[in-house]
Structure 1
């Protein structure tokens, strides 16, 4: 939460905090990277988290929700990425009639909510929640947030790998028992592309098998299929990547292509790594559309763009482009 949070203004106007309190709280937040509410209650033990929530509620006329008692089964699972939700301490509660009901700790972060509206196309209705309760709910449920995989999703109609796997019919069992595996792999990959992930990790362990997406450099668990399916999932991915499914002792690298529509084809780089519990597989998503963006769309100021263009036009020298995974280097 920003040290310039509008919560300070609200608590000042309500007489809950003094100007000296605000300066002390901001200094503590800078030092320890804590949130507004937890820092206020630490520096002013006489002010409870409930008091802060009630003050904000009265100021904005917002309802307050006991998030610990809320049934998360009703939450929309596909509106915002899990890492985005955790980072900004928000929680989508329901979506109806082009409006999104959003649980928030700090309703003053205008830029964040504008970005959510732009991202979802939905108007927002806020409900205040206690920060500690929200964290507890997230800690208990974040691993389950994307766990429900709808294999009958109509969005998968027309989605197929741009490779003729029928030619490899001797390598893969095509009976009906394997159809859920095919759908599962399609769904995991399709969702990763739609949500903007940069990598997909299929990770076998001694007793569990999990799938994780890397979004904005952060790995988030999205599914935990049955452990017994790990070899079939690996075989399916290796078949469409033209890898040797009989070879499980050495790493392999390959590529695959997914046709989402007639106008959108996504390439993937595939890497397998043998482990003690099975093959770990990583798919790097190589979206040719995003990679072919012109320099005009990169957000440079006029002077910055001139510098870049002059630099890349020189016959010698080197320009470094650095940053973490998902930062936009490509």
Structure 2
């Protein structure tokens, strides 16, 4: 343990302060009645950051940054186990709790990890073993204010003592919940009644996380409040009809963010559940560029070439939440210029584009549907049209007609692979010769969580792990025999990634150019599987799973995340060939 005498000696030994400065600090300490470290800081002999990094090395205690940008790492439910008074008295902040070998441990941010009184009181209050981490004092103060929502009336803290009062005020409780979701950058909120209690979960980086549990009796009034809010733009959210689904939407300014919420309620055996989709227009104000998407070099080159065509249809495909809208907005942002009239019709507008791009929401409840909007848009002298989604034959027919008459059309569909999107148009009722004449390209994608940059370490996967992913035996042998050539990593979990091992998301892509050979296969009514297989050989194309494996071998994501990508029924190339194709070297 480092006492004040030993601390001073070590600082002098490491030439961080001089012997004269140490003597002066020890004399001043008696007057200031402060710990030696704080005295040195107050005298200007050392900065708090220098002191904490020094202590981190000497005590072998992790140092974490809890500034505004990294506050999302904290488990917000900890307000229910450690009172505000304890945090303020000892200047500590709970970060997260986990079970290690049946021992419940709490990671505690402290500016002074030698404060045994603080550690003992936290252990008594939480019944957890404390693992201290070093944090700048001002960050702890700010973290306490944000964790306990002391900065904003709409974000007051929910402690066990205050919970009944706050839940009685439904407006306040719901506002706090929405603010918390925005702060954590959640994409969805789920409020779900079950047999004994209700769960509140947020979707973070594509995965649901438990945020809070509530008594079952509190859920109906919370759902009612959300229905009232959701009726701002819809009249169908009836409070008394609890045995049928309801949909609605509303807009709010939350913590300085302009946010649209889409709410859907659904009856379950334990009562109504609610799901809210969050569209944070403030955080989406800056549209991603094609470069930001970190496609493989060859995929990026082909995609850029396709979006600069004068006419045709470009399709982004994949399941809901796979980043299709982001891809298309990056594309129209790439080609946007004063000489083009670019118009969009979406459901709803998620990104607010820049100058010269005109955006519109469809409103089916008043008859303003995709087909009606597209017909009208064609009389608006457009050069480029973005259609949020092709769902039916009527929309598909108008999109094809627009492409045939010299317009470039971007749209999305829901299929499993890039070739499937092309064949889906045929399945909707579009003639094969029209599909082959108009579709320029199709890009299939998924989003995978990225390894946390703060806690990722080199990792050697087992053969069994790769066999479970259905990686070909020859490819597994190649990986294991040449593992030193790759950067295979896995996050072990830390405060900055909520102990998940991941932070942020990255797209994986499969790009199909509709070449003359592909057009011929469409006219011959080949299946999407055959088109994919032949395109893979003819175009030297990496499939979705292969692009995901590329990201694993370059340390971007993990083998665990690769399970989210469909494997496909095709023999894999060697890793060397796969990487050459990705770099465009074939």
- The normalised TM-score by structure 2 is 0.29
Higher relative contact order (Cα pairs below 8 Å, separated by 6+ residues)? 1
**Of the two, which has the highest radius of gyration?**
2
